[in-house]
A and B are shown apart, each in its own frame.
Chain A
Amino acid sequence: MDVAIIGIGIHPFGRTEGVSGLEQGVHAARGALKDVALEWTDMEFAYGGSSAAGNADAMVSKLGLTGLQFINVSNGCATGGSALQSAYMAIQSGMFDIGMAVGFDKHPRGAFTVNPEASGLGKWYGDIGMALTPQFFGMKIQRYMHEHDISEDTLIQVAVKNYRNGSKNRNAWRRKAFSYDDVASSQMVCHPLRKYMFCSPAEGACAMILCRADKARQYTSKPVFLKAVSVKTRQFGSFEVFSQSQALDRAPAPTAQASAAAFEMAGVGPEDIDVAQLQDTESGAEIMHMAENGFCEDGDQEKWLREGHTEIDGKLPVNTDGGCMANGEPVGASGLRQVYEICLQLRGEAEQRQVPNNPKTGYTHVYGAPGLSGVTIMTN
């Protein structure tokens, strides 16, 4: 049973004072229903997630107590992606015909605060100042730059591109394009990564209506088909966030596993992808994820960025909506935002940031704590 995305909704990302995360989720859910001219009463099920803004199923009090199956999803940085995968499986299994995946969040300002013990680490790890995700990203790209001859210039180029794309997205948080010098001279946060190379925790919500592919055209003339959904966790030897030690032998990252599984499931390869959203927690992450997802060889990113291959009019546009850098990271919604953007691109509705020549195939990738990755491949 193939699965289609027939309706999409979003609450603008960033900071919205006075509007709870849950209310932002309701706004996105209503937007997705309106997009496809359906009612909440048409939904047979929903999967929803939020990491810091309450239980997603509390949305039913506002959307309507219809008695549908609503399951809360909690899966770290892949919460939104996991809600989508759950909805996909619910339809693919034949159990349901139509339902919703929704994610929202509202994080406090500043870096994410981590409870080491909840992640199976000793309390001492937080006491001494190592339970910080930016350190991991700094250390991972530091090693990667050393091994593959990537320069700081490439880190800066990624950030400049993403903020420029964000400036063309009315739902983005940061809609100001930064110059090369703005990024290059911003404060050093975790060497070699600077302030404007990082995304920040934020707020926002996204929702999708999914249905059996064979019924999609009853509802919309622009269905987007989910050809693959894959979530993988770390294996022994991959370099992950919050690792008190690392094996001497290295293994592929969970992203590489999720990507390979998704390409196999969809029956396409990296060369078939017309537009991609890759997790850009910071500049280094986007660079490493270009290779981990199979789009280029390790070290080729220098040339790709210099030649503009990941720009909106390049051979593989990456993070056309500004990515996490311009949108911020509300954990529950972030993975679904990527899918939202790919749907817009494949529907030809991405306005000023529309990828030219009618893109047919899109790709999304989330990565995060505690070392997990989610990939989707979509076609129109």
Chain B
Amino acid sequence: MASVADQVPIAEGLFTWPSNDPRLLGSKCQSCGVVTFPAQSGCPACCGEATETIEMERRGKLWTWTIQGFLPNRPPYEGPETPETFQPFGVGYVELPGQVRVETRIKTEDLAKLRIGMNMDLVVEKYIERDGKDVIAYFFSPTDEI
């Protein structure tokens, strides 16, 4: 297991890190209460300018999904695969109760089991290595695989 010093988040401010219980970070509008992810300074719903950063729910339900069937163009893609090793991966929106639907890559052992409405949990783990460090990203996985 790499030490925390050898790990960097894929982006600052996307989730709490380092943490034993990492959470995605969103913003909540102080006028209308609408939650947005990632955290941002203005509210897309009411045009208010005052928002506060909040920690998001870690469990939600899969609202929709697809399977990325081909290797994405580089740049911008930085995944570790080659055309020979590429395996299709899941992408979806997970609805976090009372907050927002978050777009996410899906980690699962069986893409054929993806169903709208299934329970999903946040997973924060290594995505790739870059400049000698592990790049940490967020994913969601079916709750029954965790």
> A residues near B, CB below 8 A?
110-111, 113-116, 122-132, 134-135, 138-140, 142-143, 146, 187-193, 236-237, 243-248
Q: Judge whether B69 and A187 touch: CB under 8 Å.
A: yes
Expressed in whole angstroms, the Cα–Cα distance for A130 and B105 within the complex equals 8
CB of A188 within 8 A of CB of B75, answer no
C-alpha spacing A187/B38, complex, angstroms: 34
Interface residues of B in 84-118 (CB under 8 A from A): 88-89, 91-93, 95, 98-103, 105, 116
CB of B67 within 8 A of CB of A248, answer: no
> In the complex where A115-B76, A236-B45 touch, is A122 in contact with B14 (Cβ < 8 A)?
yes
Give the CA-CA distance A123 to B44 in the complex, in Å. 21
Q: Say whether B137 faces chain A, with CB atoms less than 8 Å apart.
A: yes
**Residue-by-residue, is B55-82 near A (CB-CB < 8 Å gives 1, otherwise 0)?**
0000000011111111011011111000
The answer to whether A191 touches B77, judged by C-beta atoms less than 8 angstroms apart, is no
CB-contact partner of A127 in B68, B77, B93, under 8 A: B77
Say whether B17 faces chain A, with CB atoms less than 8 Å apart.
Answer: no
B122 → A minimal CB distance (Å): 14
A122 to chain B, nearest CB (A): 5
Q: How far is the CB of B29 from chain A (nearest CB, A)?
A: 11
Q: How far is the CB of A369 from chain B (nearest CB, A)?
A: 15
Q: How far is the CB of A60 from chain B (nearest CB, A)?
A: 34
Q: B37 contacts A189, CB within 8 Å?
A: no
B66's partner among A126, A127, A135 (CB-CB below 8 A) is A135
Q: How many A-B residue pairs have CB under 8 A?
A: 120
User: B14, B63, B73, B135 — which one has the most chain A CB atoms within 10 A of its CB?
Assistant: B73
Closest chain-A Cβ to B74's Cβ sits at a distance in Å of 9
Instruction: List the A residue with the shortest CB-CB distance to B78.
Output: A127
| Contact between B64 and A129, CB atoms less than 8 A apart | no
Set of chain A residues within 8 Å of B54, measured between Cβ atoms: none
Contacting pair B77 A129 (CB below 8 A): yes
B67 contacts A190, C-beta separation under 8 Å: yes
Known: A126-B77, A245-B102. A142 touches B66 (CB 8 A): yes
Contacts of A114 in B (CB 8 A): 76
B residues less than 8 Å from A110 (CB atoms): 73
A selection of 26 A-B contacts at a CB cut-off of 8 Å is A110-B73, A116-B76, A126-B75, A126-B77, A127-B10, A128-B10, A128-B79, A128-B127, A131-B72, A140-B64, A143-B116, A146-B64, A190-B67, A190-B68, A190-B69, A191-B65, A191-B67, A236-B34, A236-B44, A236-B45, A243-B103, A244-B102, A245-B26, A245-B103, A246-B63, A248-B100
Contact A244 B72 (CB under 8 A): no
Taking residues whose C-beta sits less than 8 angstroms from the other chain, chain B's interface range is 35 or more
Given the interface pairs A126-B76, A130-B103, the reply to whether A142 lies near B65 with Cβ below 8 Å is yes
Q: Which residues of A contact B89 (CB under 8 A)?
A: 129
Separation of A311 and B74 alpha carbons in the complex (Å): 40
- CB pair A123 B76 closer than 8 Å: yes
Instruction: List, in ascending order, chain B residues with CB within 8 A of A189's CB.
Output: 69-70
Q: Does B11 sit within 8 A of A, measured CB to CB?
A: yes
For the complex with contacts A132-B72, A139-B92, A237-B45, 14 further pairs of A-B residues with Cβ separation under 8 Å are A110-B73, A113-B76, A114-B76, A124-B11, A124-B137, A128-B10, A128-B127, A130-B103, A139-B64, A142-B64, A189-B70, A190-B66, A247-B44, A248-B100
Q: Mark B106-146, 1 if CB is under 8 A from A, else 0.
A: 00000000001000000000010000000101000000000
- Taking a contact as CB atoms closer than 8 A, the residue among B10, B26, B93 that contacts A246 in the complex is B93
Give CA–CA (A37, B79) in the complex, Å.
55
Q: How far, in whole Å, are A131 and B102 apart by their CA atoms in the complex?
A: 14
Q: Are B93 and A139 in contact (CB under 8 A)?
A: yes
> Are B64 and A188 closer than 8 Å at their CB atoms?
no
- Decide yes or no whether B51 CB sits under 8 A from chain A: no
Most buried by B among A129, A142, A192: A129
Which B residues touch A237, using CB under 8 A? 45
**Nearest-CB residue, chain B, relative to A131:** B76
Nearest chain A residue, comparing its CB with the CB of B100: A245
Determine the chain A residues whose CB is within 8 A of the CB of B73 once the complex forms.
110-111, 113
Whole-angstrom CA separation of A233 from B93 in the bound complex: 22
**Residues on the B chain within 8 Å of A128, using CB:** 10, 78-79, 105, 127, 137
Q: Is the CB of A122 within 8 A of B100?
A: no
Taken together as a complex, chains A and B put the C-alpha atoms of A146 and B11 apart, in Å, by 33
Q: Please list the 10 inter-chain residue pairs (A to B) with the smallest Cβ-Cβ separation, ordered nearest first.
A: A126-B76, A138-B66, A143-B64, A245-B37, A124-B11, A246-B101, A191-B67, A127-B78, A124-B10, A236-B45
Q: Which residues of B contact A143 (CB under 8 A)?
A: 63-64, 116
Which residues in window 26-47 of B have CB below 8 A to A? 26, 34, 36-38, 44-45
Closest to B64 in A: A143
Q: Given the interface contacts A123-B11, A245-B37, A247-B45, does A188 sit within 8 Å of B76 by beta carbon?
A: no
